[in-house]
Structure 1
Amino acid sequence: MTVDVDVALVGGGGAASLVLAALLRHGVRDLRIAVVDPVHRRGQDRTWAFWDQPGNELDDLLSASWSQVEVITPDAYRSLDLAPLRYAMLRSGPVYERAAEAERRLGVTRIVAPAEGLDDDGERVLVRTGGDRPALRAGWVLDSRPRPPGRPGRTNWLQHFRGWWLATDRPFFDPQRAVLMDFRTPQPARGVSFGYVLPVDSRYALVEYTEFSPRLLTGAAYDAALAGYQALLGLDPARCTVREVENGVIPMTDGPFVARPSPRVVRLGTAGGATRPSTGFTFSAMRRQADQIARALAAGQPPVPAPAYPARHRWMDAVALRALDRDLVGGREFFGRLFDRNPASRVLRFLDGATTVAEDLAVMRSTRLLPMVTASVGDAAGRLHDRLAPDRRPPWSPPPPVVGDEPPADAGVAR
């Protein structure tokens, strides 16, 4: 038996949930929609943090938000006013609940099974689910499953992290401000690390240790790093309780992700280029993709979102990754100069791909010239080599899970 639909969402995590909610919000009607995923997502399995302007569809779902954030290096403390933006924290449970409500009201068909193959003939896509389950034939497929880039990058790093949800027995955190980056953590031999604090109230916060580097740590090493950061903050372990643990691994690579692998298949999330290579932030681009898809379908147009980031930003990310990877600049210095020499709102809009060319030039001027010129020349040489020579590098594959842990969340935690 084959089920015919207009749109099939393959993968039911954050990206698909945002699409379902956007379809309902934009009044999409009379479309046959299906979701194909082996897991029916519920509850708090990840946390996203992002910046936006208050007064939108997410306001009533947020766990917390802040108009003030801190960026700390060993030699400087920065308290940044984000106005008119805010930094916001969103846990997955309310997102899945809103998506479930959208499923009900849109009459979505759910197939709890993995998609074993997508056969696109240019007119319809056959979604094969295997076994005795019905196959699905769709006019369009929106595929949010993790995928490697189309070719290995010239630089391949990971953003990897572990966070503890800490409850204290007395007021400790300032719920009016978050710590965006605290670079007082011990730095890895290759890469950069920082701490991260998102307070929900004065006694409860997500405290996280993050690295940008080529290699994952062991579970014990993440715990040791978090314990060290907890001590640096002045938190007494005897007066804290770890309520939950979150882990994540996000690719940071200049390898290109193929957002349109065939005529009627569109990839979303990291596989569709939503992850910013220089920072790992993903949520805001997933949200933009969802909104663009819903608007297109409501207007009877193909559900193909625009590229997540301008081409010039992807080039700037490639140069920055090369400069960090080749130790031309230090991570603490690089990010510290960005926030020292630009308004916080400009830096955040730049990281979100929303700045003008003039603002991009201002951001570029805040970095040290010689290392970035060197990295730019190296990037240009690498691009020329990729065009002229066959790629003999081994194929890129997703990183293994953190030792001793469940596989990390595909869309990332607290990003």
Structure 2
Amino acid sequence: MTDSAPLVVDLALLGGGGAASLLLAALDRHGVRDLRIAIVDPVRRRGQDRTWAFWGHPDTDLDPLLSASWRQVEVATAARRRVLDLTPLRYAMLRSGPVYDRAADAERRLDATRIVAPAETVRDDGTRVLVRTGDGRAVRAAWVLDSRPRPPARAGRTTWLQHFRGWWLEADRQVFDPTRAVLMDFRTPQPPRGVSFGYVLPVSDRYALVEYTEFSPDLLTDAGYDSALAGYRDLLGLDPAGLRVREVENGVIPMTDAPFPARPSPRVVRLGTAGGATRPSTGFTFSAMYRQADQVARALAAGRAPVPAPAYPARHRWMDAVALRALHRGGVGGPEFFDRLFDRNPAERVLRFLDGGTTPAEEVAIMNSTRLLPMIAATAGDAVHRVRDRLRPTRPAPAVPPAVVGDAPGATLTTRRGGPPSGEDDVRAR
């Protein structure tokens, strides 16, 4: 194949991480067999290089791939520890290895062509899209599905980051409760500007992911993350002498009301974080990414354009913008905000809201559970800024943090097994 003779396909996937892997599996699941497909990505994804956590109903096609799932989760503050029953939902952990394996099987059955090179230029003339790769090849596609990381179209009114470090801990004895995950533990020291919490995702009574997370405008130093995570380990009462760190994860996830256009041109569709799948108020992405893949596959199977629905309703994006502004301006405290949500609403309603699945009536109940005056002030401030955005030229978007890579929620540095970072980490997406 040369520049003068591009590969002609019906569908080109740019990026090969989580979003593309889920899409390949969905195409296979829905029996799409008559499309010519090309995958353009500089990396062949294999093994456990990322972790997703999400909530949903059990007995889905993902169940055989899960590392663990929990019907109960814990939300803790300095005042109390609350155990939440998620029925009929469950919280689940999915590591990347089984997802990549399933995608590789689907890729073979779909007879897709893989080009191991970066996509450098994408030109859409309204009828076809020409993709040129870093090694001089070209692909001409009827449709392009692009899951590569992209900055937002303009700067947000509020831009925070969800940033974290996690240790995969193996214990010498039974120290974890595999029947219950810790979703948010706000007993961690709170930063001057932002909110912090820990969480625990146990795979067994001796093996778990223990993580420290902050929602804030700025990142910590490596020493800061290690100190905060060690402090959370001690707060849990875990004896470091009886623990081994098997893997380390670091990540940065955008939390912003900045827009991520899902369809930048007539025949280019963005998926994953670049397509708006990351929820601004929480950083969760997997469920929306899975929905996007399923909707695209169903559309193609029915002969329709591969354009998914918006990842979240417009009213949810507005509510996220208001909540981020209230947190940013200090009108509400993070631990108090989330504690009131879970205290005054069924856990299942809160989780469905965070996943974009509640009704307007349920959203009124959720809004009524927050402190009224700070939220009114944040709503008014958000409205003023929306008017200003319409009246002035578009502000440039900030640069994507160096650690934000891949097509899943943020980035992870997964070290070699057997110890903490050694300077030879691979940058991976989480």
TM-score w.r.t. the length of structure 2 is 0.93
Report the equivalent of 2:378.
Answer: 375
- Tell me which amino acid in the other structure corresponds to 1:375: A
State whether residues 247 and 409 of structure 1, in contact with CA within 8 Å, keep that contact through their aligned partners in structure 2: no
- Tell me which amino acid in the other structure corresponds to 2:72: Q
Report how far residue 131 of structure 1 moved. Answer: 3.2
- For residue 257 of structure 1, the aligned residue among 257, 260, 263 is 260
- Give the paired residue count: 409
Q: Distance in 2 between matches of 1:52 and 1:199?
A: 18
State whether residues 64 and 90 of structure 1, in contact with CA within 8 Å, keep that contact through their aligned partners in structure 2: yes
1:307-386 equivalent positions in 2, closer than 5 A: 307-386=310-389
Report how far residue 236 of structure 1 moved. Answer: 0.6
Report how far residue 397 of structure 1 moved. Answer: 1.1
Q: Distance in 2 between matches of 1:350 and 1:229?
A: 28
Report how far residue 218 of structure 1 moved. Answer: 1.3
State whether residues 160 and 255 of structure 2, in contact with CA within 8 Å, keep that contact through their aligned partners in structure 1: yes
Report how far residue 394 of structure 1 moved. Answer: 4.9
Matched, 1:8 2:16: no
Report the equivalent of 2:100.
Answer: 96
Matched, 1:165 2:168: yes
State whether residues 125 and 138 of structure 1, in contact with CA within 8 Å, keep that contact through their aligned partners in structure 2: yes
- For residue 217 of structure 1, the aligned residue among 216, 220, 225 is 220
Report how far residue 219 of structure 1 moved. Answer: 1.3
Q: CA RMSD in A?
A: 1.3
Report the equivalent of 2:41.
Answer: 37
SS in 2 for 1:138: strand
Gaps of 5+ in 1: none
SS in 2 for 1:178: strand
State whether residues 154 and 396 of structure 2, in contact with CA within 8 Å, keep that contact through their aligned partners in structure 1: no
State whether residues 247 and 408 of structure 1, in contact with CA within 8 Å, keep that contact through their aligned partners in structure 2: no
- CA deviations on 1:44-96 (whole Å, 9 max, x unpaired) are 11100000101110000000000000000000110000000000000000000
State whether residues 10 and 37 of structure 2, in contact with CA within 8 Å, keep that contact through their aligned partners in structure 1: yes
Q: Distance in 2 between matches of 1:87 and 1:101?
A: 27
Report how far residue 406 of structure 1 moved. Answer: 4.8
- CA deviations on 1:357-393 (whole Å, 9 max, x unpaired) are 00000100000000000000000000000011224x5
Q: Distance in 2 between matches of 1:407 and 1:138?
A: 32
Q: Distance in 1 between matches of 2:241 and 2:131?
A: 53
Matched, 1:140 2:160: no
Matched, 1:71 2:71: no
1:163-242 equivalent positions in 2, closer than 5 A: 163-242=166-245
Q: Distance in 2 between matches of 1:65 and 1:182?
A: 18
Q: Distance in 2 between matches of 1:47 and 1:3?
A: 34
Report how far residue 405 of structure 1 moved. Answer: 7.9
Q: Distance in 2 between matches of 1:405 and 1:309?
A: 38
- For residue 58 of structure 1, the aligned residue among 55, 62, 82 is 62
State whether residues 165 and 205 of structure 1, in contact with CA within 8 Å, keep that contact through their aligned partners in structure 2: yes
Matched, 1:273 2:276: yes
State whether residues 128 and 140 of structure 2, in contact with CA within 8 Å, keep that contact through their aligned partners in structure 1: yes
State whether residues 195 and 208 of structure 1, in contact with CA within 8 Å, keep that contact through their aligned partners in structure 2: yes
SS in 1 for 2:308: coil
Report how far residue 183 of structure 1 moved. Answer: 0.3
Q: Distance in 1 between matches of 2:383 and 2:225?
A: 36
SS in 1 for 2:141: strand
- For residue 134 of structure 2, the aligned residue among 130, 135, 148 is 130
- Tell me which amino acid in the other structure corresponds to 2:18: G
Q: Distance in 1 between matches of 2:358 and 2:236?
A: 34
Q: Distance in 2 between matches of 1:19 and 1:238?
A: 43
Matched, 1:395 2:397: yes
Report the equivalent of 2:304.
Answer: 301
State whether residues 261 and 275 of structure 2, in contact with CA within 8 Å, keep that contact through their aligned partners in structure 1: yes
SS in 2 for 1:116: strand
Q: Distance in 2 between matches of 1:172 and 1:371?
A: 41
- CA deviations on 1:313-336 (whole Å, 9 max, x unpaired) are 000000000000000000000000
Q: Distance in 1 between matches of 2:426 and 2:382?
A: 33
Q: 1:222 to 1:241 in 2, by over 3 A?
A: same
Report the equivalent of 1:49.
Answer: 53
Q: Distance in 2 between matches of 1:12 and 1:394?
A: 28
- For residue 153 of structure 2, the aligned residue among 145, 150, 155 is 150
Gaps of 5+ in 2: 404-412, 414-420
Report how far residue 408 of structure 1 moved. Answer: 5.1
Q: Which aligned runs of 4 or more in structure 1 are off by greater than 4 angstroms?
A: 402-408
Percent of residue pairs bearing the same amino acid type:
76
Q: Distance in 1 between matches of 2:70 and 2:14?
A: 34
Q: 1:229 to 1:202 in 2, by over 3 A?
A: same
Q: 1:362 to 1:407 in 2, by over 3 A?
A: farther
Report how far residue 409 of structure 1 moved. Answer: 3.7
State whether residues 195 and 210 of structure 1, in contact with CA within 8 Å, keep that contact through their aligned partners in structure 2: yes
Q: Distance in 2 between matches of 1:131 and 1:89?
A: 37
SS in 1 for 2:119: coil
Q: Distance in 2 between matches of 1:395 and 1:85?
A: 37
TM-score w.r.t. the length of structure 1 is 0.97
Matched, 1:18 2:35: no
SS in 2 for 1:249: strand
- Tell me which amino acid in the other structure corresponds to 1:85: L
